[in-house]
Chains A and B, each alone.
Chain A
Amino acid sequence: MAASKASRIGEEIWKTRIDKVNAELVTLTYGTIVAQLCKDFEDDYPEVNRQLDKMGYNIGLRLIEDYLAKSNTMKRCSNFRETADMISRVGFKIFLNITPQVTNWTADNNSFSLVFDENPFADFVELPDDGRAQNELWYSNILCGVLRGALEMVQMQVEAHFISDVLRGNDTTEMRVTLIRYIDDELPPEDD
């Protein structure tokens, strides 16, 4: 499917089928979750990242059905490039009203970057200045988990992680997504 068509679909669904909610509510809710995790795990940021990823994974497993139902997707993407476009232009569009750029493809077309020009989760946020959060905490790490969970449900095993974040003082917020394999319907080995 052409990227422009994906954009049109995303726009259409966003306008007609999505219940909107106050952005501050979302931002504050997510912020509270992250801050509470930091408290609960006593500022063990790698562990907070893991927890966020896990929460996202569980969201992804469920959210994919909503995505498929809302977008009326009947065919699976014919290749990973199409998948990337659909993630950005339909998925992120309908759930967060953003379309991160899809760039930095590797030559084998199995790995790409999502560059977030805006990130509704991170509005107003300043990372704790304890000298470690800036280097260890990936504030929006829940998104990696969401992608991992959602794609796993449509038979794609992927690995996703952030490689930069404006909250840390980087110029961009960039997530790296890599296809590990297609989980094709594996039939149990035949008894011969």
Chain B
Amino acid sequence: MKVASKGHSLFRIDNTRRVWFSNSQDKIDILETNSKAETRFMVSPSWPDTLNLTLVSPDSRTVFSLIIINKAGGLIYNKTFHEGGLNKISTNDYLVLAGTFHGVHAITARLNPVKPVAPPPTPGTNEPPNRPEPSSGLEVLETENFRMQCFNTLTGTKFLLFTETTQTNVDVTIKRIYDLYADYVMKNPFYSLEMPIRCDIFDRKLLSYIREINNR
């Protein structure tokens, strides 16, 4: 995967193919986003006038999918909102993705530069011992086609939101999803903690909220 840098532009040929102008403008990649294996071919810059290109404008923002990982690294929720945004992978692969991400997150949290340790409270004074802020670990992962933002709650549950790279206000979106989770998952008395989420109302509320964003 190539980590995208700022300043690129993305065009859509049709639902499955996109054209990618890289920063230096000296090459164009055409990505077959819907095929099983990602094919990428190089074309010369003069070639595009035979193509009908639509600019994927910053206005068309799409939330592709949501994954929720419990604090043990298990996948407890997985929902795709937009067909064609991301390739389909098998349920098993999703489980592996969740587990792997959980591990990677834990390691990146330890990679974080060590913060200066707070001086221990001077004996005799009434200062409470401080509890240092933990390092956050991996927060955003950007690729050519999508951006993945991770929101790690204080209880250790992780929300991974896959969006288009141009998506803005992902923080707000994730916070709202967290609200819905707190309301419709945690407050459902028949939901067992740490288990896969099968809550109809949560599904409905989530879908209608994401649809609102995707249709904006």
Contact = CB atoms under 8 A, between A and B. Distances in A.
Chains A, B in direct contact (C-beta < 8 Å): yes
Interface of A: 61-66, 68-70, 72-73, 75-81, 107, 109, 153-154, 182, 185, 187
A62 B155 contact: no
Interface in B103-130: 106, 126, 128-130
A69 B131 contact: no
A79 B128 contact: yes
B51 to A, nearest CB: 45
Interface string B174-189: 0100110111001100
B195 interface: no
A86 to B, nearest CB: 12
17 contacts: A61-B193, A62-B186, A62-B193, A63-B186, A65-B157, A66-B183, A69-B178, A69-B179, A73-B154, A75-B133, A76-B131, A77-B131, A78-B130, A80-B129, A109-B126, A153-B155, A185-B134
Lowest 4 A-B CB distances belong to which pairs?
A109-B128, A69-B182, A79-B128, A62-B186
Nearest to A74: B154
Given A65-B153, A153-B155, A109 B129 contact: yes
A64 B155 CA distance: 8
Interface of B: 106, 126, 128-134, 153-155, 157, 175, 178-179, 181-183, 186-187, 193
Given A65-B182, A69-B183, 16 more contacts: A61-B193, A64-B155, A66-B187, A69-B175, A69-B178, A70-B179, A72-B175, A73-B154, A76-B154, A78-B132, A79-B129, A80-B128, A107-B126, A109-B128, A182-B131, A187-B106
Contacts of B153: 65, 68
Contacts, number: 61
B173 to A, nearest CB: 14
A80 to B, nearest CB: 6
Contacts of A80: 128-129, 131
Nearest to A154: B154
Contacts of A185: 106, 134
A95 B101 CA distance: 35
A79 B128 CA distance: 6
Nearest to B132: A78
Contacts of B182: 65-66, 68-70
A61 B126 CA distance: 32
A80 B128 CA distance: 7
Contacts of A187: 106
Contact of B134 (A64, A70, A76): A76
Contacts of B187: 62, 66
A72 B131 CA distance: 20
Contacts of A66: 182-183, 186-187
Contact of A68 (B132, B154, B183): B154
